[in-house]
Structure 1
């Protein structure tokens, strides 16, 4: 949860396919028990006791498990990394050919693809998270840092695009650029852990602290507008930004050497 002092959209809080403190309650993918089931079933199929159904979309040699599109964990991982063997088939159900100019076979699969897991693309993503379950999360974190291109008709693409458009305030001199692609960035739990700890800490409170410092300003450059200078100007040692908010004058001073400033008093309030 974002702190009150530094709020941000909750959608971005859920951007990490399930943060380290979150565990999937409904794992929609295969586990070890599933593999045992598959092995047993394959043995029966080899003996002719069970009829072989639809083939795995990756290896094309073994039957799929129940309502999945692959035969087991190995092929799921290959599907996530390399995609299906036959790229002419619908990229969601993998049962029927794609319609002309589309990645799906029809409107039903197109609607499902809009909310599909960004990694396997064949199962619905888990609520506000971007992947469908533990298996895809494990596969994704094996290759971190990982970036995944988001399809333009996906709900996540629309969410990010809208946030970008709504936050663009550069004015007429800098028109809103046209987005060409959006990627999902996935990191592992070790990378996210410090962020989660920082996010969990509340920075709000009735008290505050202020450092009173001594500063050597040297040759001062005074500016009045944003972006008037972007670094320390030649011949100067510091920059004073003199701006007004209503009738209040707010001076901000920037020095460019750590040796130019030292704390003297700490004020608590």
Structure 2
């Protein structure tokens, strides 16, 4: 029994020596790998914090520019938006560029605003942002450009399936109305009215346009046109009706509808 114990102890000692030898051989690699994992985690966390901190700062800068716009200090707002579009983090530079173009339009610099929207449309990889820039630029071109100017920007967006199709159709219809092409304007406005996805306020606005065309005798009265115009007129009458003229039952029902 004592010999067995001696052999067992010798065997365990040999195993221990082998393990120590293996550890001495591979320890640098194991420790290095562990340090590498820790370093990667630390860098990732630091990068995440850096971007989050920069995004929060960019958000504050954007809202500061909005406050300047609301306060009428457009020159200061433009400077802040320009700095944010250059040095901002995340999606804030793009938002700043859109808002900067809007401020240019508000200042009366329509040509520069349209150029800014066109640049956004040409540089954005997101197709929805491209379409938004084109629609905003086309809307400005209604008063200062031609039907061709508007159509070149939103002609394809006015097609079925585009989320901004009704905004594009409205801009195109207004440009056609301004150019005296009343039949084309009627078709553009009625396309919005007949779109089941159009919001009620947008559909009513098209009704106002159609009612104007009817009152001018610029278009022939058709069932769809007459219905849209009648709806628009009803909206105008109901909005302008004095509170005393509204039936009591209707007045009491309004809070429930809200």
**Normalising TM by the smaller chain, what interval?**
under 0.3
Instruction: Give TM-score, length-normalised by structure 1.
Output: 0.23
Which one has a larger percent strand, Structure 1 or Structure 2? Answer: 1
Name which structure has the greater RCO, CA cutoff 8 Å, separation 6+: 1
Which one has a larger percent helix, Structure 1 or Structure 2? Answer: 2
Instruction: Give TM-score, length-normalised by structure 2.
Output: 0.23
